[in-house]
């Protein structure tokens, strides 16, 4: 797959193009996303400040915080782009990479402490720090564990994907 080069402006602004999939706010319908006008009401009303507009479409930035599934984005959207039922989880889960500090024999449990559902637990390892394990069924994909990781070892993967340490 060939990637397009960054423009000088994007490089100097710190923008980067990525093959990563953009995560839309919870409950935003795939089929209706083209109806989004990019008005920014969801951005203004997100209490955690993780919604931003990229190409006039709302996306979530879990590096800025977590989604609390409060529904403010859907409530304030003037367009019919959100599901009518309340959404309490995403179609993705988190994955923990081998760059995670406990895998490098350094004690850290920041992701566990941040996880509101207890989906990340730490199991003991003989002669080393406890290592993380993810219970995918308990993970809502809220992203609370992403911004607190000091080495950016936590990322988003589709729920069907099998993560090495999930």
Between CA 57 and CA 34 the distance in angstroms is: 9
Report the range of poorest mean pLDDT among 14-28, 41-55, 134-148: 14-28
Please count the other Cβ atoms lying within 10 Å of the Cβ belonging to residue 37. Answer: 12
Residue 3 has pLDDT above 50, yes or no: no
Residue 19 has pLDDT above 80, yes or no: no
Task: Give the mean pLDDT of 118-127.
Answer: 94
Angle at 23 between CA 21 and CA 29, to 5 degrees: 110
Percent of the chain scored above 70 by pLDDT? 83
Task: Give the mean pLDDT of 78-103.
Answer: 92
Residue 166 has pLDDT above 50, yes or no: no
Output the pLDDT for position 65.
Answer: 94
Residue 1 has pLDDT above 50, yes or no: no
Does this chain's domain 19-76 share its CATH topology with 92-158? yes
* Torsion 79-81-83-87 (CA) sign: negative
- Reading the block at residue 133, the tokens are 């394990």
CATH numeric code, 19-76: 3.30.70.20
Q: CB of 30 within 8 A of CB of 57?
A: no
What letters, b where the CB count within 10 A reaches 16 and e where it falls short, cover 126-158? Answer: eeebebbebebeebbbbbbbbbbbeeebbbbee
CB within 8 Å of 104: residues ≥ 6 apart: none
Residue 14 has pLDDT above 90, yes or no: no
pLDDT band at 165 (very low <50, low <70, confident <90, very high): very low
Q: Where are the domains of the chain?
A: 19-76, 92-158
Mean pLDDT of the chain: 86
Output the pLDDT for position 5.
Answer: 55
The fold for domain 92-158 equals: Alpha-Beta Plaits (3.30.70)
What letters, b where the CB count within 10 A reaches 16 and e where it falls short, cover 52-80? Answer: eeeeebbbbbbeebbbebebbbbeebeee
Measuring CA to CA, which residue among 73, 87, 71, 92 is closest to residue 143? 92
Between CA 141 and CA 157 the distance in angstroms is: 9
């Amino acid at each position: 797959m060939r990637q397009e080069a960054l423009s000088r402006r994007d490089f100097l602004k710190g923008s980067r193009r990525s093959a990563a999939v953009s995560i839309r706010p919870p409950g935003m319908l795939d089929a209706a996303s083209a109806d989004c006008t990019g008005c920014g009401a969801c951005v203004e009303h997100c209490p955690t400040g993780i919604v931003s507009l990229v190409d006039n479409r709302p996306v979530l930035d879990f590096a800025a915080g977590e989604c609390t599934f409060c529904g403010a984005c859907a409530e304030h959207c003037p367009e019919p782009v959100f599901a009518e039922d309340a959404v309490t989880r995403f179609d993705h889960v988190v994955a923990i990479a081998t760059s995670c500090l406990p895998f490098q024999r350094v004690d850290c449990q920041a992701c566990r402490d941040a996880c509101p559902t207890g989906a990340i637990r730490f199991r003991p390892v003989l002669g080393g720090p406890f290592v993380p394990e993810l219970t995918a069924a308990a993970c809502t994909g809220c992203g609370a564990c992403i911004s607190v990781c000091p080495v950016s070892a936590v990322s988003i993967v589709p729920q069907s994907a099998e993560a090495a340490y999930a």
